[in-house]
Structure 1
Amino acid sequence: MSFTTHTTRSGFLLPSIHSVPPFFTEQPNPTTQSQNISQWTRLILAYARHRRLFVLRLEDAETSGGDWDEVLRNERINRRVLPSHLSAIMESMITNGQAVYEPPKQTRAVLLYWRLPEEWAEVLHSWATDTANLNTILTFYEITDPPVPSPLSDIPITLLRRVIAVLAKTGRAQVISTGRTGSGEENEGVRFFSGGK
């Protein structure tokens, strides 16, 4: 069998390594395992960016028909990533600042940083500037579900909070409570500033 690239149904180009059966298993040699995890990390983050996926769960390796099937499985060679291998990949991503466990205090799901919070902060601030929303209070909902789709559409609120915190540290954003909802939950918003306050 030749090891070639393959384009998935979603239009993502899988690298030729995805056709190599050992790629899907943990390697006994630490150096080889480190290289394997590094390649998986690049693949997962690139695919997440391509599909705008923010969360990866261990269950994604166990169940078929999900968002991650195109990457975590290769039906052409009858291989899939086992949960133990995916767990090692996720742990490495956490260690290298490419993901965080979400929710915290568990190890079965991660929030992926295919853009780092600092990169998202620049995207968010540019969006606020381009849409003339400086010095205006916007709810988190207005940012994650804008009337016109944006790069921030559907960004998880937990990631949005981290991104806003980056902007707040540089004086370009301020979190504001906008009262309580009918169910008693705190409504939060954010005001953006052009530069440091």
Structure 2
Amino acid sequence: MTTSMSTHTTPSGYLLPSIHSMPPFFTQQPNPATQATVTENWTRLILSYARHRRLFYLRVEDAETKGSEWDEVLRNERINRRLMPSHMSFIMADMVSKNLAVYEPPRQTRTVLLHWRLPEEWAEVLHEWASSTAQLNTILTFYEIIEPPVPSPLSGIPATLLRRAVAILTKTNRAQVIAVADGEGVRFLPGNPAR
């Protein structure tokens, strides 16, 4: 039985590329050049899907556990294939080596924080949000940024990623970290990014 190369829309509304319907896509390839292409395609798919669903973390367990939020990408029931945990680890390591993800928490290799936006891009999103919502020169806690009363592009961002974005803005004199009663706050400052 041959499987036609076709795209497929998942229940969440994500359009899977046609390569997702090819059984070899789910298997680690012995040829390094072929595997490099497979890894590149998986990386593109993972980052694109993460952005679509606003997912920040990917775990090796997501390949093992049926019913995870990653199921519709890591499995293809139509061709009875799924990404194996060892292949997932290989792809995650490649993403980390290219700064498209970081191991989070550090010093382990089973969970990554995905960079579907690089920390530098998050810094720009963060400063733009602060400017457009009249938050410049106002001290905000990290919690107020992560869980704002009105959903924003930063809603749900992991604190470690938010801290990296704030650090980038601090280096360009567009933010400063300030001690507040329950921890740390951030004051956003007007200014142009250093070019």
Under TM normalisation by the shorter chain, which class is it?
over 0.9
1:28 is aligned to 2:6 = no
Give the unaligned 5+ runs of structure 1.
181-186
2:5 maps to 3
2:75 maps to 73
2:14 maps to 12
1:190 is aligned to 2:186 = yes
1:119 maps to 121
Aligned-partner Cα distance in 1 for 2:26–2:117: 25
Q: Which amino acid aligns with 2:166?
A: I
Aligned-partner Cα distance in 1 for 2:167–2:155: 18
Aligned-partner Cα distance in 2 for 1:55–1:101: 10
Residue 76 of structure 1: SS of its match in structure 2? helix
Shift of 1:87: 0.3
1:184 maps to none
Aligned-partner Cα distance in 2 for 1:32–1:178: 53
Residue 160 of structure 2: SS of its match in structure 1? helix
Shift of 1:195: 1.2
Shift of 1:179: 2.5
Structure 1 residue corresponding to 2:149, chosen from 144, 147, 153: 147
Q: Which amino acid aligns with 1:164?
A: V
Deviations 1:21-44 (A, max 9, x none): 000010000000000000000000
Deviations 1:105-154 (A, max 9, x none): 00000000000001111100000000101011000011011111000000
Aligned-partner Cα distance in 1 for 2:190–2:55: 30
Deviations 1:163-186 (A, max 9, x none): 101111101011111134xxxxxx
TM-score (norm 1): 0.95
Residue 26 of structure 1: SS of its match in structure 2? coil
